[in-house]
């Protein structure tokens, strides 16, 4: 390439002779021709590079739209608008980042209503109200007629536009399938906007988080023909109008015993019941001598409540979880078992000492599947400790699946575990069933050597057909 010609100033050009100027002009013409040729070459190279680039095929952009849409469905996880109260919330992955990658992906996202059908709404004063409502409306519009799964959380003091949000959401009430509402501050719930417009609603959760909050009576969900599952936290029976009789699954938390009793009186078709915490009434409630739930087959009670156990009758119960069990709870548990004559098949008991544990297990002879935490005194109490599983054929005669959860290697020795399993799985003991499944699930405090020794001791039984699992407790070991 010809090097650039040196530029001359006006005074220098005026000092040149005519012949020198004609020579200078010729050089400039040659330079212009060279630059023009160079530009043509650059344009040709640019076109060639673009053509070569266009010839490459990106697999992600050549997938059928249906497959790309399905991949996006698996990517999206708990999308939300706004900021949650806790930063420990699980990671949120919504469709907006996908739609911002390219035009093709945006078209795929907008054409897939299911990507927009799940949403957690966290209102915040850092957003202008109108902008927040416009975004919410745009999001819900993109869901089309797809069934909606919505969570609305009210988290800020003096929250001022809750009614506007619920009124907007009510326009889509004909497609709401699950609805989770947390109310922290008083406001008027727009009952009329939802009334009679919830044909798809199957699951509802209402949480009253503010202490001393007494909301207006909520009647918006009284007419929901498919509603079967309800969760109530801190919500009084008097505050809600629901189709109680058609519910089959119910979770109650932070209610008084009398409120819990009033609700259970109306929900006699329950099949699943979970009670986490009950608070004492200011005045001792007067409860009916008996409350029968004839269809209930799964009952989870995180904290034992004797007044409730004393009035329940559960003739169809198959699974029972007891989160805590003390010596004073044993008579109520035994009376419930006798009164119900239940065909109980599976039971899990946590946070109990040996004596109440064994006494309660003796009252459920039909149980085939037992899951217990090894109490701190499991090995020290001769009569009510691990030896009860060896010496008493009346204890769990139908046991076929046994899960033991020691929280330390001091609760039970490795050879004691082996003794229990060998005795129960031998099949030669008259009056008791042969153990078919054994699980040892240890806390992180239990050393690996303990688990290794137990495994080695039980390998002959595994070879003989016993289904054996030895593992550490997962971080989330129990789900409702």
The pairs formed by 424-429 with CB atoms below 8 angstroms and a separation of 24 or more are 424/389, 424/399, 425/461, 425/464, 425/466, 429/393
**267 lies in some domain:** yes
At residue 304, the pLDDT reads 78
pLDDT value, residue 322: 92
- Report the number of distinct structural domains present in the chain: 3
- In a domain, residue 230? The reply is no
CA distance 329 to 308: 11
The pLDDT assigned to 366 comes to 93
294 and 380 share one domain: no
Asked if 145 and 279 sit in the same domain, the reply is no
Supply 168's token pair: 């907007």
| Residues 173-186 pLDDT 10s | 899 999 998 876 65
151 shares a domain with 74: yes
Task: Give the number of other CB atoms < 10 A from CB of residue 159.
Answer: 18
Task: For residue 232, tell me if it sits in a domain.
Answer: no
Alpha-carbon distances, residue 456 vs 336, 376, 460, 467 (angstroms): 41, 24, 8, 14
**Is 168 contained in some domain?**
yes
Q: Containing domain of residue 458, as a range?
A: 351-475
- Is residue 340 in some structural domain? yes
Summarised one tens digit per residue, pLDDT across range 339-397 is 999 889 999 998 888 889 998 999 999 999 999 998 888 877 667 778 888 777 788 99
Instruction: Split the chain (480 residues) into runs of 10 and give each run's mean pLDDT.
Output: 54 70 84 89 89 71 79 86 64 84 87 91 81 91 93 67 85 93 71 83 86 70 93 86 95 88 93 88 70 95 85 94 89 92 92 89 93 85 77 86 89 89 84 92 90 93 93 59
| Claim to verify: residue 75 and residue 190 sit in the same structural domain | yes
Same domain, 357 and 340: no
Residue 175 lies in a domain: yes
Among 344, 371, 387, the domain-final residue is 344
158 & 252 share domain: no
79 with 195, same domain: the answer is yes
Q: Are residues 195 and 74 in the same domain?
A: yes
pLDDT value of position 306 = 82
Q: What is this structure's pTM?
A: 0.80
Residue 52 lies in a domain: no
Whether residues 216 and 190 fall in one domain? yes
Give yes or no: residues 68 and 186 share one domain: yes
Same domain for 328 and 355? no
Is 195 found in the same domain as 93? yes
Position 342 scores a pLDDT of: 87
Q: Does residue 12 sit within a domain?
A: no
């Amino acid at each position: 390439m010809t090097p650039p010609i040196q530029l001359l100033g006006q005074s220098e050009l005026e000092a040149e002779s005519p012949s020198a100027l004609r020579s200078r002009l010729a050089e400039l013409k040659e330079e212009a021709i060279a630059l023009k040729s160079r530009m043509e070459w650059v344009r040709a190279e640019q076109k060639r590079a673009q053509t070569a680039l266009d010839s490459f095929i990106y697999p992600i952009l050549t997938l059928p739209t249906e497959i790309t849409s399905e991949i996006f469905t698996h990517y999206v996880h708990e999308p939300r608008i706004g900021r949650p109260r806790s930063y420990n919330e699980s990671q949120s992955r919504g469709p907006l980042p996908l739609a911002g990658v390219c035009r093709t992906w945006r078209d795929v996202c907008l054409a897939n209503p299911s990507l927009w059908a799940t949403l957690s709404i966290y209102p915040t004063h850092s957003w202008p109200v109108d902008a927040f409502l416009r975004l919410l409306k745009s999001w819900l519009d993109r869901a089309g007629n797809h069934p909606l799964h919505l969570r609305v959380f009210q988290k800020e003091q003096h929250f001022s536009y809750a009614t506007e949000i619920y009124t907007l959401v009510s326009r889509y009430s004909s497609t709401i399938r699950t609805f989770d509402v947390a109310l922290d501050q008083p406001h008027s719930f727009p009952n009329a906007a939802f009334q009679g417009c919830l044909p798809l609603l199957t699951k509802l959760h209402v949480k009253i988080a503010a202490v001393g909050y007494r909301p207006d009576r909520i009647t918006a969900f009284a007419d929901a023909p498919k509603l079967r599952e309800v969760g109530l936290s801190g919500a009084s029976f008097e505050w809600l109008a629901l189709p109680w009789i058609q519910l089959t699954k119910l979770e109650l938390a932070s209610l008084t015993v009398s409120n819990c009793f009033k609700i259970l009186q109306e929900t006699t078709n329950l099949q699943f019941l979970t009670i986490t915490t009950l608070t004492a009434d200011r005045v001792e409630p007067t409860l009916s001598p008996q409350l029968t739930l004839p269809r209930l087959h799964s009952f989870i009670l995180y904290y034992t409540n004797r007044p409730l156990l004393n009035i329940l009758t559960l003739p169809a119960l198959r699974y029972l979880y007891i989160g805590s069990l003390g010596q004073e709870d044993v008579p109520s548990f035994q009376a419930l078992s006798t009164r119900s004559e239940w065909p109980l098949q599976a039971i899990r008991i946590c946070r109990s000492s040996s004596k109440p544990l064994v006494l309660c297990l003796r009252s459920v002879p039909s149980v085939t599947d037992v899951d217990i935490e090894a109490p701190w005194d499991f090995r020290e109490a001769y009569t009510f400790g691990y030896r009860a599983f060896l010496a008493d054929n009346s204890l769990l005669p139908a046991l076929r699946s046994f899960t033991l959860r020691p929280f330390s290697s001091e609760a039970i020795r490795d050879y004691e575990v082996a003794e229990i399993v060998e005795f129960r799985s031998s099949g030669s003991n008259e009056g008791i069933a042969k153990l078919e499944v054994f699980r040892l699930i240890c806390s992180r405090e239990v050393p690996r050597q303990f688990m290794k020794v137990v495994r080695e001791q039980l390998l002959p039984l595994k070879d003989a057909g016993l289904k054996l699992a030895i593992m550490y407790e997962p971080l989330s070991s129990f789900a409702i």
